[in-house]
Structure 1
Amino acid sequence: MRIAYQYKLLPSTLQLVTMNRWLDMLRQQYNWMLADWFDWWEMNRCLVNACPLVCNIAEPREKPEYYGQKRSLVRLKRDRPWYKEIHSQVLQDMVKRVKLAFARYLKGDCNGKRSGKLRFKGVNRYRSFTYPQASIDWIDSNKIELPKIGAVKVVWHRPLPPGFEVKSAILSRKADGWYITLSLQDDSVPEQTIDVVPNWDNSIGLDMGLEHFVADSEGELIDYPRFLRQAKSKLAKLQQKCDARPKGSVARKKLSQRIARLHQKIARQRYQFHCETANQLLIKADVVFVEDFNLSNMTKRCKPKQDENGTFLPNGQAAKAGLNKSFADAGISQFVNQILPFKAEKAGKRRIKVNPTGTSQHCCVCLNRVPKELSDRWHSCPECKAEMPRDTNSGVLIKKVGLGLASLKKAQRATARKEARALCVGTSLP
């Protein structure tokens, strides 16, 4: 079993300067190696028979590869002796990052999902470096001995679990200082296998939204505190002050740090709320059914509208921008795809995704189709007379679809069913 624990570092002034200097040197070498990959890619991605007739065909060159770039570090240290300050394994891990980043750009990850075109790292975009082979022997009381950096104070806010071995250490720079993430492994602890069989009594259905963050199938509604909206006025004042300061000035940098720390606080509040909500839901059930939706499609820009003369017309993007901001503030994707499955697996429970198509337009009791606009927040079925909040109805229907008790592919309008019944008996509608 492998887990990760993160702790706050309290480095001295000299150690702080050393770590920042390492980051800058690693960033520059990362950009150089990435440029080497791009140079090879631009020269070799097009076949000879597909090139235009009038062009300069570059001489073929060998493809940059992981071990070749690692061997180039020997020449790098000879030509630039200041790179000898960096621990050798930290420098080699930087080469591995280049390889993995470009591989995902070309081939994609294990799910086939490709990343966008890689960007060169700016000063504030390369924020961490890794010791691939850490050891428990580095820890001494309230300090941790980092090679070529020295003994750095650590805030041990929780003890390391006994029996685990330290495998690697990642040092990351955040808005409020430096942190270390220790990767721990214990081979004696097997990976957990979850074999919970869902049924009506041990499961629950969740409908995610903005009016109510979570509406479950038992009728409970959980609202989101809207942390970003609460800090909106404070953020606006800080950003106005920051924009008024000259670029590159000390005052502007200090205000930028205050803005970054405020955003970090909002992110931590959101993360804590998500964890508490996940724990609250997992206490009630062993299996949680959630919507399998793509939030990136829900936050796309509205398509532009033009009249006959080509003049652009209002398309509702101003209102959509506020909706997208609310989606980002709620962090629904983070909750559904990261925190909830992690908490469920840790507790020996399951999170199952369900196709949400039609769950808001059908009745959870009789499966009659009840069309609703987005502004309609109450479900009222004319067929079975069911009355409940719209989100609760969706939560119950998600649970039924997840358990296989309902199929919305066969659900029809009440009038459509009457028409089909009339055609079967050969009579007209009353």
Structure 2
Amino acid sequence: MTVAKKKFPHLRDVQSQVLQEPIRRVEAAFAARKERGFGFPRFKKFGQYRSFLFPQFKTNPVRGNKIKLPKIGEMPIVLHRPIPDGFVVKTVRVIKKHSGWYATLCLQIDVSVPEVPPVIGHAIGIDVGLEYFLSTSDGLQVERPRFFAKLQRKLKLLQRRLKRKQKGSNNRAKLIKKIGRVHEQIAAYRLDWQFKQAHKLCRLASNIFIEDIDFRIMAKGFLGKHTLDAGLGQFLNQVLPWVCFKTGTYLGKVDPNGTSQECPDCGAIVKKDLRVRVHECHECGSVKPRDIASSEVIKARGLSGIENVCGVEVAGIWETISSQLAEKQKSSEATLRSPRLIAQR
């Protein structure tokens, strides 16, 4: 870097630690390529490097509604919320988006954050999908929103216009910015809707159980477009855990294998492909929507792992009631919920 600064004097206008970050990125990219055996790092063209990092600060860079960055100086900001007392700003990443410039602050404080333990209370299982965004063991079904589909026509028209623009022109740059803002609008609508759904679920139950699924595999299939539009992985792995932590709701993950092939009432294996949307058990005669049956199985798997008052420990979550009481509670809840009322949204 010292030799490069002598050869290119304009590099001295940038803080030295900011210049070191691209080198770390390139090194990490080649190390990852060597580890997995494929995926040569892509060269960043002009305009594709959209963020840079300030890794450390001697003092707090945020002063009122301004932030002071090395070699840049004080810049006015729209402060999202004040920094709490006791927190220290460790890093600041400046990100360029189509809607403007953003600064992401990483804060540090020496405290231990305990995990939310399971509590005695109402529990629900959640099954996510594409016909319905989510189905709960209580009979609630929420229709899948189509954020991308609603604005797809607008994006299609803008991208057709982009194809006729000359590369490198100002009109092309303006159109790219306009397209990017539409994509940001879609992502903002999706995230806001998912947070609202997560808060509703946390108000319904004290314990929530979900499947431990890697949706990256599902997103590569023939339903990849709809999977990414729904944002199932974002909801289960980011939004719902964060809201559960804030509200003190326990969130547990269960084995996803065979949840849709098992009868929630008698435990029999009922084979059915993706086209079959109604669960019909040949053993006990149970008939219910497939997604609700799957959510009941998820709940049963979460509650089946009990450390009861007798000290018997099995795989699953902690519960302060015995296995017999758990079975009685399950049978009583099934009686109260019959017939089921499926709320559609």
TM-score normalised by length of structure 2: 0.81
Which among 189, 206, 214 is matched to residue 294 of structure 1?
214
Task: List gaps (5 residues or longer) in structure 1.
Answer: 1-72, 109-113, 302-319, 407-430
1:286–1:350 CA contact under 8 A, matched in 2? yes
Shift of 1:195: 5.4
1:172–1:180 CA contact under 8 A, matched in 2? yes
Which among 32, 38, 44 is matched to residue 121 of structure 1?
44
Say yes or no: does 1:380 pair with 2:280: yes
- Cα distance per residue 1:125-171 (max 9 Å; x no partner): 31111111135543333221222112211012322222211111110
Specify the alignment match of 1:171 in structure 2.
94
Q: Report the CA distance shift for 1:124/1:223 in structure 2 as closer, same or farther (over 3 A).
A: farther
Specify the alignment match of 1:197 in structure 2.
118
Shift of 1:368: 2.2
Specify the alignment match of 2:57 in structure 1.
134
Specify the alignment match of 1:334 in structure 2.
234
Shift of 1:357: 1.9
Q: CA RMSD in A?
A: 2.5
1:178 aligned partner, one-letter code: W
Shift of 1:349: 3.8
**Percent pairwise identity:** 40
Task: List gaps (5 residues or longer) in structure 2.
Answer: 307-345
1:135–1:165 CA contact under 8 A, matched in 2? no
2:116–2:245 CA contact under 8 A, matched in 1? no
2:49 aligned partner, one-letter code: Y
- Cα distance per residue 1:256-312 (max 9 Å; x no partner): 1111110011111111122222222223333322122232333445xxxxxxxxxxx
Specify the alignment match of 1:421 in structure 2.
none
- Cα distance per residue 1:199-223 (max 9 Å; x no partner): 6x44321101011111111111122
Q: Secondary structure at the match of 1:367?
A: coil
Give the Cα separation in 2 of the matches to 1:354 and 1:405. 10
Give the Cα separation in 2 of the matches to 1:243 and 1:198. 57
Instruction: Give the 5 Å matches for 1:203-214.
Output: 203-214=123-134
Specify the alignment match of 2:316 in structure 1.
none
1:332 aligned partner, one-letter code: L
Which among 147, 154, 157 is matched to residue 237 of structure 1?
157
Say yes or no: does 1:249 pair with 2:169: yes
Give the Cα separation in 1 of the matches to 2:169 and 2:76. 31
Give the Cα separation in 2 of the matches to 1:405 and 1:383. 25
1:289–1:402 CA contact under 8 A, matched in 2? yes
Give the Cα separation in 1 of the matches to 2:116 and 2:243. 16
Which among 12, 33, 44 is matched to residue 105 of structure 1?
33
- Cα distance per residue 1:362-397 (max 9 Å; x no partner): 211012233333232222324323232211110000
Specify the alignment match of 1:92 in structure 2.
20
Instruction: Give the 5 Å matches for 1:3-402.
Output: 73-107=1-35, 116-134=39-57, 137-187=60-110, 190-194=111-115, 196-197=117-118, 201-301=121-221, 320=222, 323-402=223-302
